[in-house]
A and B are shown apart, each in its own frame.
Chain A
Amino acid sequence: MATRLSKIINSWVPENSKVIDFGCGDGSLLKELFENKQVLGYGVEINDLKIEKCIEKGIPVIKLDIDKGLNDFMSSNFDLSIMARSIQCLKNPDLALNRMLDLSKRCVVTLPNLGYWRCRINLASGKMPITPELPSSWYETENIHLCTIKDFENLCLKENISIKDKVFINRSGNQGGLSKINPNLFAVEGVYLLEK
């Protein structure tokens, strides 16, 4: 995970909190949070190879298809749930978002911005965007529900989810600059801290 992104997430995670990371990959972020914030963290992942990596790092992990099984873990109370760069891969991102906020006090969501100018240029030329952040062709991408920064914030509004904090990351991995002025056009990624 890019250092910038993990720094932002680190700053939002309270010490000794109980965290669940949906789409945790190889467990790197949880490992960082464990070391820096002494969190008790669980990862959720569907890929066996990535699950093996989590176990290797000593990170507790649950093999689960988030689209199917999020309800099962409702009884566990988390301080924070994280969904980094995964929400666009879900069949029902809106339902998942609500579920995450049912099982944790706050949640961190990061998503690639389809409104980013390079994506728009691609679309204007009549093709699906292929950028460094969204490198796959339309037929092989896992991103089935891409949206723009504006779209996502509208969804939060509609679902009565309040945005406690947000950070926009530009192409060089930094905050600020044009991505602060007009994130929907210049941010490649939006990072949100949400509450209900």
Chain B
Amino acid sequence: MKIETKLIHFSKGIILESGEKLDSFDLMVETYGDLNENKSNAILLCHAFSGNHHAAGKNDDFGVGWWDQLVGPDKPIDTNKYFVVCCNNLGGCAGSSGPASTNSSSGKVFGKSFPQVSVLDWVNSQKMLMDELNIDYWHFIAGGSLGGMQALQWSISYPDKVKKAGIFAAAAKSSSQNIAMNEVARESIRKDENFHNGDYYEHKVIPKNGIKTARMLGHITYLSEEHMDSRFGRKFQDEGSKVEESVSFEVENYLQYKGEQFSELFDANSYILMTKVMDSYDAGKDKTLVEALKDVKAELLIVGFYSDWLYPPERGKEIQIAAMNNNIKSSFVVLQGDHGHDSFLFNSETYSNLISNFIES
């Protein structure tokens, strides 16, 4: 598979939904395969909360791509046929401009001064990327969770640029429970003594404990009760492989391990920023969702998973109903999914057939 990873600089900057302006910014971009002659085979993948530009294949920095099960040669999103694009979103911490980047006008790290971005800002910056890559329209835009929100917003904001959109394990807006979970995560970061009100970079520390606790909580919300029971049950952790002395159960050890690993990779300010993007998203905003979708031309494939309690299938159904009221060619399918909210990341026969049939139809 042909993979290209590059940092693209946007010197003219972007005016954000909040009214603030980023004078210039960078996006870390990965592409797979080749754009064909008539430029009809471009696919955009939008990453979820803690994802990045590395969607497929394996590299030293990020290991296996977050959607490698579905993206690659002869996979449902087939890189032999399609030119697949994925970027680290603005405000992230995998190479694109974010709180941990240096502000070119002050020469200092942004820290908490990095402006709050939104799903719409991401879509607008991806549109700038699209122009940069000389792509006229996306044959397909897809994403799960927060990525699905971007796919939906693309269809709303740029109706002529999207032929098909895949909205998986997503919602048109976050629920009160979603926001509540995110606030607990943010609080754990803010209360870490190394957080320094977001300017921990100059103290040469990171609020590691805070990010770790936040991630441990987040991780629970991504899995289903059934999945955790079948995977860990009430099994005890072997003495020899404990990552933390205090743990008794395997599930505790697992969360400790995952939290620890994540806290070394992810920037705390990005964590706060990304969760706020998720919380603030509301496709309908001051209108109803039906009104918000009135200009959508893309065909939609909305997939929910029964085992997902973070963005349960009912959230997808709301989008489907609004789409049908607008006479949009939209499908809504609920699959079992074995991994709770994370199910959108994993291959299953029906899921992959749906995606490849939808792309090819």
Decide if A and B are genuine partners.
yes
Residues A52 and B353 in contact, CB atoms below 8 Å apart: yes
Known: A58-B361, A60-B331. A76 touches B324 (CB 8 A): yes
With both beta carbons as reference points, the residue of chain B lying nearest to A52 in the complex is identified as B353
Partner of B321, one of A48, A52, A61, A76: A76
With both beta carbons as reference points, the residue of chain B lying nearest to A58 in the complex is identified as B361
Residues of B close to A48: CB separation below 8 A: 333, 335, 350
Min CB–CB distance A142 → chain B (angstroms):
20
Residue B334 lies at the interface, judged by CB distance under 8 Å to chain A: yes
Residues B301 and A55 in contact, CB atoms below 8 Å apart: yes
Partner of A55, one of B320, B325, B334, B358: B358
Partner of B350, one of A42, A52, A56, A75: A52
Residues of B close to A58: CB separation below 8 A: 299, 329, 361
With both beta carbons as reference points, the residue of chain B lying nearest to A41 in the complex is identified as B329
How many B residues, CB 8 Å from partner?
22
With both beta carbons as reference points, the residue of chain A lying nearest to B326 in the complex is identified as A76
Residues of A close to B324: CB separation below 8 A: 42, 73, 76
Residues of B close to A42: CB separation below 8 A: 324
Min CB–CB distance A165 → chain B (angstroms):
26
With both beta carbons as reference points, the residue of chain B lying nearest to A53 in the complex is identified as B357
Residues A52 and B299 in contact, CB atoms below 8 Å apart: no
Q: Of A42, A48, A55, A58, which is in contact with the most chain B CB atoms at under 10 Å from its CB? A: A55
With both beta carbons as reference points, the residue of chain B lying nearest to A40 in the complex is identified as B327
With both beta carbons as reference points, the residue of chain A lying nearest to B304 in the complex is identified as A63
Residues of B close to A63: CB separation below 8 A: 332-334
Residues of B close to A52: CB separation below 8 A: 350, 353-354, 357
With both beta carbons as reference points, the residue of chain B lying nearest to A69 in the complex is identified as B317
Whole-angstrom CA separation of A89 from B350 in the bound complex: 24
Contact string, A17-43, partner B, CB cutoff 8 A, digits 1/0? 010000000000000000000001010
Whole-angstrom CA separation of A40 from B350 in the bound complex: 25
Residues of B close to A54: CB separation below 8 A: 331
Residues A57 and B361 in contact, CB atoms below 8 Å apart: yes
Whole-angstrom CA separation of A73 from B333 in the bound complex: 14
Give the size category of A's interface with B. 10 to 19
Partner of A18, one of B327, B330, B354: B327
Partner of B357, one of A18, A40, A55, A60: A55
Min CB–CB distance B353 → chain A (angstroms):
5
Residues of A close to B299: CB separation below 8 A: 58, 60
Contact string, A74-93, partner B, CB cutoff 8 A, digits 1/0? 01100000000000000000
Residues B331 and A40 in contact, CB atoms below 8 Å apart: no
Residues of B close to A62: CB separation below 8 A: 320, 331-333
Partner of A61, one of B317, B331, B360: B331
Residue A194 lies at the interface, judged by CB distance under 8 Å to chain B: no
With both beta carbons as reference points, the residue of chain B lying nearest to A43 in the complex is identified as B331
With both beta carbons as reference points, the residue of chain B lying nearest to A62 in the complex is identified as B332
With both beta carbons as reference points, the residue of chain A lying nearest to B332 in the complex is identified as A62
Residues A51 and B354 in contact, CB atoms below 8 Å apart: yes
Residues of A close to B360: CB separation below 8 A: 56
Residue A72 lies at the interface, judged by CB distance under 8 Å to chain B: yes
Whole-angstrom CA separation of A72 from B333 in the bound complex: 14
Whole-angstrom CA separation of A42 from B335 in the bound complex: 19
Residues B361 and A76 in contact, CB atoms below 8 Å apart: no
Residues B321 and A51 in contact, CB atoms below 8 Å apart: no
Residues A61 and B333 in contact, CB atoms below 8 Å apart: yes
A-contacting residues, B310-355, CB 8 Å: 317, 320-321, 324-325, 327, 329-335, 350, 353-354
With both beta carbons as reference points, the residue of chain A lying nearest to B320 in the complex is identified as A62
Whole-angstrom CA separation of A60 from B321 in the bound complex: 12
Residues A40 and B354 in contact, CB atoms below 8 Å apart: no
Residues B317 and A72 in contact, CB atoms below 8 Å apart: yes
Whole-angstrom CA separation of A58 from B331 in the bound complex: 10
Residues B321 and A73 in contact, CB atoms below 8 Å apart: yes
Residues of A close to B330: CB separation below 8 A: 60
Partner of B361, one of A40, A56, A72: A56
Residues B331 and A76 in contact, CB atoms below 8 Å apart: no
Whole-angstrom CA separation of A53 from B325 in the bound complex: 24
With both beta carbons as reference points, the residue of chain A lying nearest to B323 in the complex is identified as A60
Residues of A close to B327: CB separation below 8 A: 18, 40
Residues A55 and B350 in contact, CB atoms below 8 Å apart: no
Q: Of A18, A40, A51, A57, which is in contact with the most chain B CB atoms at under 10 Å from its CB? A: A51
With both beta carbons as reference points, the residue of chain A lying nearest to B318 in the complex is identified as A72
Residues of A close to B353: CB separation below 8 A: 52
Contact string, B247-260, partner A, CB cutoff 8 A, digits 1/0? 00000000000000
Residues B321 and A56 in contact, CB atoms below 8 Å apart: no
Residues of A close to B320: CB separation below 8 A: 62
Given contacts A55-B331, A55-B354, A56-B360, 5 further A-B contacts (CB under 8 A): A18-B327, A51-B333, A55-B358, A56-B361, A72-B321
A-B contact pairs, 8 of them (CB 8 A): A48-B333, A48-B350, A51-B350, A58-B361, A60-B331, A62-B320, A62-B331, A62-B333
Top 7 closest pairs, chain A to chain B, by CB? A58-B361, A56-B357, A55-B357, A76-B324, A63-B333, A48-B350, A52-B353
